[in-house]
Each structure stands twice: as structure tokens, then as C-alpha cells.
A = this chain, B = another copy of it.
């Protein structure tokens, strides 16, 4: 087997475990190096062509979609095609003290998949098979690299659904969804990724393959490691197979759209509707800036004179759905809605949701016309706190002069404010980063969390201390160090700054 080598290949830095007390162990650079010879040995143990040290290829795989996160210094990229490849990489890594960055589709926006000094990028995108569909037990077993939407498409002929639908549904992989416990638009009724993980096969830091969780609907034999791995951002081990719980095919939803004179009345409607027992299958909020940017991006015909819009879906039977939509309309009107419209035409619903799903490209178009910078935040709040939160964003926008647009999976209180800035203007860039942090601070002040579904990664690691109390930080570090005593797995991410 041939491995391409170039003179420019950086000699890898072998790392040794740091002695840490009360901090996450992280691999520390040493004088020793892992060079081409050692990587040759690893390559020979892997599927043919899995390992490359081509710096251009490494650079092309060294980052996800996050801004302001370092990604330099990786020494190799392994594109694993089997669990055995993953095991071999971790055996090599633990033997030589080499850090490993697990990667999937790299569609994340917290830098969780970014390279780090001396690391092997371990990409599982090529492991994308559906291994089995078990209709009787309503389970599917997949490799981690499968794209969420591809899984959904695969399941449709079986009359089965895998609900979690992050905004990145067409781009992001199930492994990455598990790593961040991804959510999406459906969560208000159907929950998040964790709620659908039945069992995981993972490779541990030392290369051991283990199965976590039973195949059965219930099971309490020992500590629940499977759910600990969900949302662990590649810091505890690497998922090489996942068995996911499915539900019968989701019915076509009914859709209501309400427009409001301002943001506050739209968000108050959400809080009041949910407090009154509303059970939507989707409840999305768009502020006036987001509506304008969407209309500038595509021919969506949204009412961009409105101060905000809610899209509400309900997927019960027609009679119950009508009742819920009427209840929604009543609450919206009491909160000052300009207009409430229903549709039971699946085409209308699909068009509206397609428009909502275009928000990120629309933001990008706006950003590109204004200097290219966009920082997308992910603060989840108590629903009742959303109107106040929105007021605070407006104050920030006024005081900074930077545009802040807001969309939200509002039924869950999960807001996504975006700060736009001129990326070529250092002062504005620094200001945007400050606002990004200030948004999280406000979120915490209002009883929220710094991240509802995007994860901590590198981007938010410095804010974790503001959310977790001392005891919580301490046991998280203890668990991380217990499972990864050499600090090999995704160093510098998530818990590394607490």
C-alpha cells in the first residue's frame, strides 16, 4: 500500500498525558515525534487508501462551518470505512499519545470537528450504510456517516420515520447528530436525537469496541452510558454504529401562519399557546429581518411588512387539528396578530417549511452583501422569557449598530440569533464576537442555556463556566478523564476550558 508523502508533511508531535487535577487531561506536546514511518505502519493496518498525509487534503478536511475556531496542525486524515479502521486508529493513538479528532460531514457550527495540533483527523463519512431495518421492532441500524435526510428517504418505503430534523438535515450525518444531540423543527412534539438512540457501538480511547445500551424498548442493566455518549461531541469515544428507534410514518400536517406587528407579540403568542396546552408538531418564529432576507433570497412571497411571523403545524387527525389551529388563532389574535391563515394543503405546508429551511442561505446572501460575517447563536430559553430576550437583542442591535436577526424553534424556546458584521473590519469583527457572548450571557440571565442543539465545540468552550456550577464541572471532568485518561479524544473542545 502506498501512502503519498510530501516534503512539506509536518512531522507529528508525539504527546504525553498531562497530569491534571480538576482539569480535563489533554495531550501535551513533547519533543518526540510521530513521523512518516509510524504513520506508514498505521496506514498498513487500515483499509487501503484510508490514510493520507497530503497537506492539501488535510487542510480541506480540517474544519467545520464555525467561524473563529483554530483548525491547524493535523498530521493525517483517515477516512475510515470500517469499525476496524477506527479501532486501529485509536490503538495507534493511545500507543503513541496522538490526539484524534472524530469527524463526520463537518456541517457543525461550533468547531467541534476542527483539527488540532498533532492530531489525526478521523473521518467516518464513508461509513454510511443502512445495516438493517427491523420493522417488527421499529428499529434501524446505521453507520455514523449516513446523512440524516438519506436515512429518512431510506425509511419512507417502510412506512417508518426517524423524526429528528436539524436545519442541516440534508447535510449533517447521524454520527454528528448524535455527537451534538441534534434537534430541529420537530422537537417541540417529537424530541431530540437522544430520544431516538436505542443503542450505540462505540470505539473507546484505547481502541476497544463496545456496545452500549440494550436492543429492547426498556433496559436498566447498569449505568446508562449510551445517553452519556449522545451529545459528548467525540470527547468520550467514536460511534461506529447506531441503532435508532423509529415511529410510524408521520402524518401530513396542517399548517397555520400568523403575522404580527412586532416580534414581542409573536413570541408572547408562543408562550401563551403552549401554556394553554398547545401541542404543535412544529412552531417556528421569524423576525422581520429574517422575513426580509428570505424574500430577498427567493420568491417566497412572505409578508415582510410584518414585524414577525409564526409557522405552526399540527399533525393530528383533521378534527383535532382544526381545534388546535382555532386555539392557536385565538391566542394569536389576543396577542395582536395582524393575520392568521390556515392550510390543509400539503403543498402549502411544504412550501412554507421549505422557505423556513432556506433561512441560512438567505442569511449568507445578506452577509455576503455586507462584508461576509455572520455569527449564529443557539440560546434555548424558558418560553416565557423569549419576549424579554428579543427586547434585549434589539437593545444590542441599537447600541452596536450591527444587524441581529432572529429565528427560533419557538415552541421549545430554542432561539437562533444571528449577528452580521463586516469580516474585513477588525473592530466590527471583535464587536460581533462580543455581542455573540453577550447574547449567551443574557440567555443565562433569563434562565436559558448557551447551546440548545449546536454543541459547545471550540466556539463556546469559554462560556461553559458561566452555565455549569462547580460540582457539575468537576464530575464532567472526572467522567471525561476516566474514559479518556490520556486526553486523546477531541482535545481542546467542549470541557477543555472549564
Which of A63-71, A287-295, A463-471 participates in binding chain B?
A463-471
Contact B319 A222 (CB under 8 A): no
Q: How far is the CB of A344 from chain B (nearest CB, A)?
A: 16
Cβ < 8 Å to B, chain A residues 212-230: 212, 214-225, 227-228, 230
Q: Which of B136, B224, B447, B482 contacts A275 (CB 8 A)?
A: B136
Q: How many copies does the complex hold?
A: 2
Number of interface residues of A (CB under 8 A): 90
Contact B220 A180 (CB under 8 A): yes
A91 within 8 A of B: no
Contact mask for chain A residues 178-217; partner B; CB cutoff 8 A; 1 contact, 0 none: 0011010001100110110000000010001111101111
Q: Which of B204, B215, B384, B447 contacts A475 (CB 8 A)?
A: B204
A383 within 8 A of B: yes
Which of A73-81, A124-132, A305-313, A451-459 participates in binding chain B?
A451-459
Contact B476 A380 (CB under 8 A): no
What is the CA–CA distance of A187 and B216 in the complex, to the nearest angstrom?
12
For A382, give the chain B residue with the smallest CB separation. Answer: B137
Cβ < 8 Å to B, chain A residues 470-498: 470-476, 478-483, 494-495, 498
Q: Which residues of B contact A220 (CB under 8 A)?
A: 180-181, 231, 449, 451-456
Contact B222 A137 (CB under 8 A): no
Q: Which residues of B contact A405 (CB under 8 A)?
A: none
Q: Which of B225, B271, B382, B383 contacts A476 (CB 8 A)?
A: B225
Contact B216 A224 (CB under 8 A): no
A414 within 8 A of B: yes
Q: Which residues of B contact A210 (CB under 8 A)?
A: 469-472, 474-475
Q: Which residues of B contact A427 (CB under 8 A)?
A: none
Contact B248 A279 (CB under 8 A): yes
Contact A224 B231 (CB under 8 A): yes
Contact B271 A222 (CB under 8 A): no
For A214, give the chain B residue with the smallest CB separation. Answer: B449
For A476, give the chain B residue with the smallest CB separation. Answer: B223
What is the CA–CA distance of A255 and B140 in the complex, to the nearest angstrom?
31
What is the CA–CA distance of A319 and B464 in the complex, to the nearest angstrom?
49
A317 within 8 A of B: yes
Q: Decide yes or no: A452 and B216 within 8 Å by CB, A228-B228, A468-B221 being known contacts.
A: yes
Q: How far is the CB of A325 from chain B (nearest CB, A)?
A: 15
Q: Which residues of B contact A454 (CB under 8 A)?
A: 220
Contact A215 B317 (CB under 8 A): no
Q: Which of B271, B317, B380 contacts A217 (CB 8 A)?
A: B380
What is the CA–CA distance of A222 and B217 in the complex, to the nearest angstrom?
26
What is the CA–CA distance of A160 and B490 in the complex, to the nearest angstrom?
42
A412 within 8 A of B: yes
From A159, A231, A236, residue with most partner B Cβ within 10 Å: A231
A155 within 8 A of B: no
Q: Which of B187, B224, B467, B474 contacts A230 (CB 8 A)?
A: B224
Query: 26 A-B contacts, Cβ less than 8 Å apart?
Result: A138-B274, A159-B277, A181-B224, A214-B380, A216-B448, A217-B452, A218-B412, A218-B413, A219-B449, A220-B453, A220-B454, A221-B456, A222-B494, A222-B495, A222-B498, A223-B494, A225-B479, A227-B228, A228-B479, A248-B279, A249-B277, A317-B319, A319-B319, A475-B482, A478-B482, A479-B483
The 10 A-B residue pairs with the shortest CB-CB distance in the complex, in nearest-first order? A210-B471, A482-B482, A478-B482, A218-B452, A219-B449, A217-B412, A136-B275, A208-B471, A216-B380, A214-B449
Residues of A within 8 A of B (CB): 135-138, 159, 180-181, 183, 187-188, 191-192, 194-195, 204, 208-212, 214-225, 227-228, 230-232, 235-236, 248-249, 271, 274-275, 277, 279, 316-317, 319-320, 380-384, 409, 412-414, 447-456, 460, 464, 467-476, 478-483, 494-495, 498
